[in-house]
Amino acid sequence: MNPRQVPPPGTDPYFPDHGDTRYRVQHYALDLDYRPVSNRLSGSARLSALAGPASLEEITLDLAALRIQRVLLDGRTVRYTHRADKLRIRPAAALAPGTAFTVEVRYSGNPRPVRSPWGGLGWEELTDGALVASQPVGAPSWYPCNDRPADKASYRVAITTPSPYAAVAGGRLLTRTTRASSTTWVYEQPAPTSAYLMTVSLGRYTAVPLTDPAPADGRRPPVPQTAYLPARLLPAFTADFARQTRMMRFFEEVFGPYPFGEYTVVVADDDLDVPVEAQAMATFGANHLDGARTWERLIAHELAHQWFGNSVSVTDWQHIWLNEGFAKYAEWLWSEHAGGRTAVAHAAAAHQLLATLPQDLLPADPGKRLMFDDRLYERGALTVHALRCALGDDAFFRMLKDWTRIHHHGTVSTADFTAHAQRYAAAPLDGLFDAWLREPSLPPLPQPTGLTPETR
């Protein structure tokens, strides 16, 4: 974007060159063929979209350096340009406000991560396979999309790959069909999904069901859970993920019903710096397994994101503390519930650590440079803890359940959350939120009055 141009209303202030606010995508249908040995991807993406309140003279999509074979608008060839990771489509005549339209893009190439201040993002080759880690702007590395978190759509993803490989995507597996030496896996994700939260993972994996037996007392059936991992890692995985189904039940008690139809875990046969967050799915590295539950906090963190970040998504990246603060606090809640260190003790340790670090971070608007700073995670969790101390457990957990219910599959901002929390407080919370979110200096450690020794 030209620095002199004023970005359109709704543009993400941290990534103004990503996304197009003039239309909304309702559904993506992706048909992909991937050859791991040559890292060759061929794809067809069909987007069903709706023009906004103004006439639409140009449709822009985010797509990195892949070669385009054809672009169709409502089934007809159309003029387009593809430069600087932006696909610009020019209709023969402007689309009227509110017009439904479809775009089909056929493309191919050798996908690679897009550059960012945090390293490569998006499609990543593994030693034997591939995965997608798109947060925040890596989705254009593998498919054309409207890459803004507030534009959420449903997905159908078909992936064809050599038969020794499993192809895993977030959503329900509809079919798996083998022809000759290739297998096509078809997934459906009906829930509204931000572009960066759609993922695929390919490897020589064994499928392991994790779901608890259905309760005999008529209670809500358990969430279907499946893991895909190399067979050699199964012994360590069995120990490390032994409590995930129990964790799921606990989070449903404190956060409300799990917001998707299933939950999938992949363990890659490579080491990863951090797990990969995605819609109804998380990918871990082989280094996150040791048979001793050393990394169980990460299992809790990624699972909590299904409520905080995935179902309830940020309108733009300025509000990322809403994702990471709650996921970090979920680690503390699970630790307490599972008999480990209490949330109060975790909060004290986090506060002690932050007191030794530079205090130049504003959680409510950290800026692009600091949006993934470890301090934002800790400070965000402390904000949640301070709110819990102010409200007391009964009001706090009612507030959380109502938050995930009211904004189920929606998008939110910090202002939305502070207004929501205020409805559960007997006194104004402005001072609390100003101190914890809008000032760089670290407030005093909140005092844990009104908290139960163990949550639920």
Domains of the chain: 23-111+135-196 (2.60.40.1730), 207-306 (3.30.2010.30), 314-437 (1.10.390.10)
CA dihedral sign of residues 371, 372, 373, 378 = positive
Cβ neighbourhood burial of 358 (10 Å; 0-12, 13-18, 19+): exposed
Biggest CA–CA distance in the chain, Å, is 68
**In Å, what is the CA distance from 384 to each residue of 54, 107, 381, 421?**
40, 44, 5, 10
Distance in angstroms (rounded) separating the CA atoms of residues 61 and 110: 19
- SS3 for 239-256 is HHCCCHHHHHHHHHHHHC
For each of the chain's 456 residues, which pLDDT tens digit applies? 443 345 566 789 999 999 999 999 999 999 999 999 999 999 999 999 999 999 999 999 999 989 999 999 999 999 999 999 999 999 999 999 999 999 999 999 999 999 999 999 999 999 999 999 999 999 999 999 999 999 999 999 999 999 999 999 999 999 999 999 999 999 999 999 999 999 999 999 999 999 876 665 667 789 999 999 999 999 999 999 999 999 999 999 999 999 999 999 999 999 999 999 999 999 999 999 999 999 999 999 999 999 999 999 999 999 999 999 999 999 999 999 999 999 999 999 999 999 999 999 999 999 999 999 999 999 999 999 999 999 999 999 999 999 999 999 999 999 999 999 999 999 999 999 999 999 999 999 998 876 665 543
Note the residue count of the chain.
456
